[in-house]
Amino acid sequence: MLASIIASGLAIGAVYALIGIVYNTMYSASRVMSFTAGQIGMLGGVLGSLFILRMGLTPIIGFLLTLAVCSAIGVVTEIVAVRPVLSKLDQHLYVLTTLALTMMIQQVTAIEWSTEPQPFPRLFAIGERGPFDQRFWLPLAACAAVFVGLEFLYRRTLIGHAFLAIAEDNYAARALGLPERNLRVASFALSGAIGGVAGFAAGQLLLAFFANGAMLSFYGFVPIAIGGLGNNRGAVVGGLALGVVQQACNFIFGGIFASVAVFLVFIVALLAVPQGMFGMATVRRV
Select from 64, 75, 86, 100 the one that contacts other proteins (CB under 8 A).
100
Amino acid at residue number 18: L
Beta carbons within 10 angstroms of residue 118's beta carbon: 17
113 binds other proteins (CB under 8 A): no
Do 20 and 224 contact (CB within 8 A), yes or no?
Answer: yes
- Judged by beta carbon, residue 151 or residue 169, the one nearer other proteins is 169
- Judged by beta carbon, residue 179 or residue 204, the one nearer other proteins is 204
Q: Which residue(s) pair with 208 in the sheet?
A: 118
245 binds other proteins (CB under 8 A): no
Give the range of 36-44, 144-152, 159-167, 210-218 binding other proteins by CB under 8 A.
Answer: 210-218
221 binds other proteins (CB under 8 A): yes
Applying the rule CB under 8 A, the residues between 169 and 188 that interact with other proteins are none
Least distance from other proteins to the Cβ atom of residue 93, Å: 5
Give the range of 65-73, 83-91, 181-189, 192-200 binding other proteins by CB under 8 A.
Answer: 83-91
Select from 64, 72, 99, 277 the one that contacts other proteins (CB under 8 A).
99
Quote the CA–CA distance of 93 and 155 in Å, as a whole number.
33
Select from 21, 47, 73, 81 the one that contacts other proteins (CB under 8 A).
81
Radius of gyration of the chain from Cα atoms?
A: 18
Quote the CA–CA distance of 104 and 258 in Å, as a whole number.
29
Quote the CA–CA distance of 198 and 196 in Å, as a whole number.
5
Quote the CA–CA distance of 230 and 224 in Å, as a whole number.
8
Quote the CA–CA distance of 185 and 29 in Å, as a whole number.
9
DSSP H helical ranges for 50-133: 59-76, 83-86, 94-112
- Judged by beta carbon, residue 45 or residue 74, the one nearer other proteins is 45
Applying the rule CB under 8 A, the residues between 257 and 276 that interact with other proteins are 257-260, 263-264, 266-267, 270-271, 274
